[in-house]
A and B are shown apart, each in its own frame.
Chain A
Amino acid sequence: MKYYRAHVLICSGSNCAIKGCRSVKQACEQEIIRHGLQGEVQVVDTGCLGLCDQGPALVVYPEGVMYGRLTPSDVLEIVSEHLLKGRLVHRLMQQPTGPAGEVSPLSMTPFFQKQKRVVLKNCGLIDPERIEDYVRAGGYTALATALDVMTPERVIAEIKQSGLRGRGGAGFPTGRKWEYTRVAAGQQKYIIGNADEGEPGTFKDRLILEGDPHLIIEGMAIAGYAIGATRGIVYIRGEYELSIHRMELAIRQARENGLLGEGILGSAFSFDLEVCAGAGAYVCGEETALIESIEGNRGEPRFKPPYPAEKGLWGQPTSVNNVETLANVPSIIEQGALWYRSLGTPNSPGTKVFTLTGNIVNSGLIEVPMGITLREVIYEIGGGIPDGKKFKMAQTGGTSGGCLAAAHLDIPMDYDSLQSHGSSLGSGALLIMDDTHCIVDLTRCFLKFFVHESCGQCTPCREGTPALYHLLGKVSAGAGGHADIQLINRLSRTMQSSSLCALGQTAPVPVLSALQHFWPEVEAHLNGRCPANKCVMGKAAGKIAN
């Protein structure tokens, strides 16, 4: 193995790629060669560092200095100053220096200090396209442990004891899902990794797949062993080109190294994995719709029961788990359920990956222990609201989540606390909005999404979403009255109780939370006034754009 005196880790996730990390990397490599440093400094592509707003970004080790918002010409300076002469380039640094000019470790900066990285442990540290890097970071030892010293029942017991709950939105206990699938009768069982990430504001699964694809393979192989599945499918959104590429590459590498295929690691367990690309439909994130899509049909949710654990893909017992859920599994097997329970809250153990978007200084990807407050996330990790504006509201859990006001900044972020305030943890999307926005205008925007994404199969959702959108349009135009609000309430309750799947059941959540937490502002619209001055009063209401 070759040793280098310094490593340059360049974030190659989608968000940085958009900002030009390719040309930054090229410039870096050329400049290193020009200075004859290629034998001393290694340039490595890594996964997301989390600070998407500051991309393209790179970290120079061993010092752990992060440089951000780079252009190719900035890189010339980093190479000639930092890598050649050992002088820090302060103007490009993303972390403070101490009194003697010493660099505080990246982990001590406000952005990273409160984070706890379990799922993202390797993101930004290893090259996701090299299986050697993953193995060197301790990868595949959990799979070896499971196959070597644990029975499938023992694996399930450990996951149950850890209290791991589904990270896709519903929060169902993962161990129980696996147990149901294990005991169900069937010839061929399946494990499906759900990466059909369509919830607006969510991009965690994309960055996990791009940053550490072998972690998902390992998690799925352990899941397959536990439930008795020899085949797995990772269903990835069609738009996620880089995720699909890296996952397919990782699968090939795992096969070549005997970590997928017949008799894995000398055991009697055989397991293989394939990628299935989606074709663009939010509803396919719902597990039975996803199964329909894999089978080559319209992605319409099925009636439940039977649940997929009993009759899933091709009518066989199937466990569908979110990518982030699966990414937790190797760490739990390696470090134990008790360790996992030491993180987070009693009812929501572990960590959660959140994506910060909207009016926030540090938009990007973070992982924190469950139970952290919204205030800590926004003001300490997120750096607060930009441009001197004031916090108005946060929508948690994506577009199907509720809107919380300033009064809720101190509630703990976990499954149950958020639910008791009319919102949800959901997929971990956090949309922050400043005081220039109008609650009615935003709620219309949320509903427009559901009008478009409703699959049309069941009536409450197909008819309910456009009706809600229309009514909100009326309110927005100052043409609504109290009778319309009553109708919105009644329609919302009907959709929640009678829609076939979670899409129709959760579409009214942002509306109801808006009425509950922002009533004075909604009421002002009934009196012909938009306090934020966003809504155009008197404009013809209700036409649904496609």
Chain B
Amino acid sequence: MAERQANSSQRQMILPFVDQPGGLLKALHALQNASPAHFLAPSDLKLVAEVFGVPEAKVWGTATFYSLYSTSPRGRHIIRVCESAPCYVVGAMDILKVLEETLDVKPGETTGDGRFTLEVASCLGVCGVAPALMVDLDVHGNLTRDRLNAILAEYA
């Protein structure tokens, strides 16, 4: 019953996008933003396919193409460490290593308490303050080993 209700509220959420040109990506954004585990569940993708009247394969293909969508559950906060060249040159790999050790996860994994998912990302576009990472929508730059714990502490 609860599941059916959730399904119906999600349907309401994406209906406005059906008639919008290119609305599929917006629907995926909306569903993922509403997901407590920050991901698109198989049931979400099935729903999008049904509401938009397109094959489920197309929805999966689109959702897995873009790096901002995830099809597996993630933690409460998502850490995205930039590993592109400008960050790499000024020590991004050390930052990633410290995070891996501190959180005891590898990129793509979620901590046991469900607090953080660690991801590596391509250039975040704040190279003026490299090395940089994003936690959710916040960008943190000029990273040093010593600052990482204070940054993590901001996210419960």
Contacts and interface: CB of A to CB of B under 8 A. Distances in A.
Contact of B127 (A198, A299, A363, A452): A363
Interface in A272-295: 276-282, 293-295
B122 A452 contact: yes
B130 A198 contact: no
Contacts of A18: 126, 129, 132, 139-142
Contacts of B123: 198-202, 399, 449
Given A15-B141, A449-B84, A546-B107, A442 B129 contact: no
B54 to A, nearest CB: 9
A309 to B, nearest CB: 20
Interface in B72-131: 83-86, 88-90, 107-108, 120, 122-130
User: In the complex, which of the residues B88, B127, B130 has the most CB atoms of chain A within 10 Å of its own CB atom?
Assistant: B127
Nearest to B32: A279
Interface stretch (A221-229, A236-244, A408-416): A236-244
Interface size class on chain A is: 35 or more
Interface in A525-546: 545-546
B141 A299 contact: no
Contact of A298 (B62, B67, B68, B83): B62
Interface string A422-434: 0000000101010
Contact of A357 (B21, B24, B67, B130): B130
Contacts of B66: 278-281, 299
B1 interface: no
B137 interface: yes
A314 interface: yes
Interface string A345-386: 000000000011111000111000000000000000000000
* Candidate in B108, B124, B128 with the most chain A CB atoms within 10 angstroms: B128
A442 B124 CA distance: 19
A284 to B, nearest CB: 8
A237 B124 CA distance: 10
Contacts of B25: 279, 293, 296
A200 B127 contact: yes
Contact of B61 (A281, A298, A449): A298
Nearest to A359: B89
Given A14-B139, A296-B62, A197 B85 contact: no
Nearest to A436: B89
Contact of A446 (B85, B134, B142): B85
Contact of B128 (A15, A298, A395, A442): A15
A279 B69 contact: yes
A262 interface: no
Nearest to B24: A296
B45 interface: no
Nearest to B107: A546
B126 to A, nearest CB: 6
A42 B32 CA distance: 42
A206 interface: yes
Given A279-B25, A280-B67, A295-B22, A357 B127 contact: yes
4 closest A-B pairs by CB: A52-B128, A200-B84, A280-B67, A296-B24
17 contacts: A198-B125, A200-B86, A240-B125, A296-B21, A296-B25, A296-B26, A357-B128, A358-B85, A358-B86, A431-B89, A445-B84, A448-B83, A449-B84, A449-B122, A453-B122, A455-B65, A546-B120
Given A278-B66, A355-B128, A453-B122, 10 more contacts: A14-B125, A200-B86, A203-B125, A239-B125, A240-B125, A241-B137, A294-B22, A296-B62, A445-B84, A546-B107
Interface of B: 21-26, 28-29, 61-62, 65-69, 83-86, 88-90, 107-108, 120, 122-130, 132, 134, 137, 139-142
